[in-house]
Structure 1
Amino acid sequence: MTTPPTVLFICQHNAGRSQLGAHLLGVVAPDQFIARSAGVSPADEINPVVAEALQEVGADTSAARPRLITSEDLATADVVVTMKPGLSLPGPVTGRLVEWEFANPEEWDINGVRTMRDGIALQIRGLAAEMLSSSRP
């Protein structure tokens, strides 16, 4: 059995955008990828409004904890998705680098986060479809 590709989502605090990315990949393409997330300067906890928006689409965020990005994360990911351009990473990306730009949802209400969630989900559907089609013989 082949190991699914690892997709790493990175944002500043690993409390919003990157959590949305990793959890939504699990919803959009269950069991097709290993989804991870991390931040450049992690917060203490996932943004509760982000967690609520993810739970609305069936994502379980109960074990989600922001964590610091490491050079090992960057070296082992097949695809690295930055959710904000210009992040200072702790090492080189050895896989494919994808840069998306989403605003920081830190002070947003649920309606704003839902809009972002849906925008990220659209991007993820495209990325997942592309990756799955390129891995087929």
Structure 2
Amino acid sequence: MSDKPSVLFVCVHNAGRSQMAAGWLRHFGADAVEVRSAGSAPADQINPVAVAAMAEAGIDITGNTPKLLDYDTAYASDVIITMGCGDACPVFPGKRYEDWKLDDPAGQGIEAVRGIRDEIRDRVQRLVSELLPSTGA
């Protein structure tokens, strides 16, 4: 068992919002947080505009692949953050849930995705400060 908190980011395609959030959490949480992401209907690849927007911020998410949300991953997570996955997201008693209302970057240009990226960054920074109060992130 790990003493690290684990966070699961879930969106429909696991190709944009959840991948950007996972990238930010890996960046700000370093090795102190276990980071997971998944989708209820994963895409074939990560949204290239999301990859480009994150690269502008110095975060490389090119090695990630969309994954299907499964029961075991959700059950093993301490915090589950949903981003528009609707009723497909499982609910487990005793887990911390947050639903982040964010625009979907699918089909959007880089200008719009930059705004989504920055909003996700700000939310992840707040999450890190709650999960790891001693880091001052």
TM-score, shorter chain, exceeding 0.5:
yes
Q: 3-state DSSP class of the match of 1:13?
A: coil
1:33-68 C-alpha deviation (Å, 9 max, x unpaired): 111110000000000000111112222223210010
The answer to whether the 8 A contact 1:12-1:42 is kept is yes
The answer to whether the 8 A contact 1:27-1:58 is kept is no
What residue in structure 1 maps to residue 11 of structure 2?
Answer: 11
The answer to whether the 8 A contact 1:85-1:100 is kept is no
What residue in structure 2 maps to residue 50 of structure 1?
Answer: 50
The answer to whether the 8 A contact 1:40-1:87 is kept is no
Give the deviation of 1:98 after TM superposition.
Answer: 1.0
Range 20-29 or range 5-14, more displaced: 20-29
- Aligned residue identity for 2:32: Q
The answer to whether the 8 A contact 1:85-1:101 is kept is no
Rounded to whole Å, the distance in 1 between the matches of 2:112 and 2:87 is 23
Rounded to whole Å, the distance in 1 between the matches of 2:68 and 2:85 is 17
What residue in structure 2 maps to residue 107 of structure 1?
Answer: 107
What residue in structure 2 maps to residue 63 of structure 1?
Answer: 63
Change (3 A) 1:114 1:87: farther
Instruction: Report the count of equivalent residues.
Output: 133
1:56-93 C-alpha deviation (Å, 9 max, x unpaired): 2222223210010000011000100001263412x433
Q: 3-state DSSP class of the match of 1:7?
A: strand
TM, length-normalised to structure 2: 0.89
State the percentage of identical aligned residues.
Answer: 38
Rounded to whole Å, the distance in 2 between the matches of 1:120 and 1:62 is 18
TM, length-normalised to structure 1: 0.89
Please report the RMSD computed on the Cα atoms of aligned residues, expressed in angstroms. Answer: 1.8
Return 5+ residue gaps in structure 2 as ranges. none
Return 5+ residue gaps in structure 1 as ranges. none
Rounded to whole Å, the distance in 1 between the matches of 2:87 and 2:100 is 11
Change (3 A) 1:9 1:19: same
Q: 3-state DSSP class of the match of 2:80?
A: strand
Rounded to whole Å, the distance in 2 between the matches of 1:7 and 1:15 is 17
Rounded to whole Å, the distance in 2 between the matches of 1:38 and 1:128 is 19
- Aligned residue identity for 1:93: F
Q: 3-state DSSP class of the match of 1:51?
A: helix
The answer to whether the 8 A contact 1:11-1:84 is kept is yes
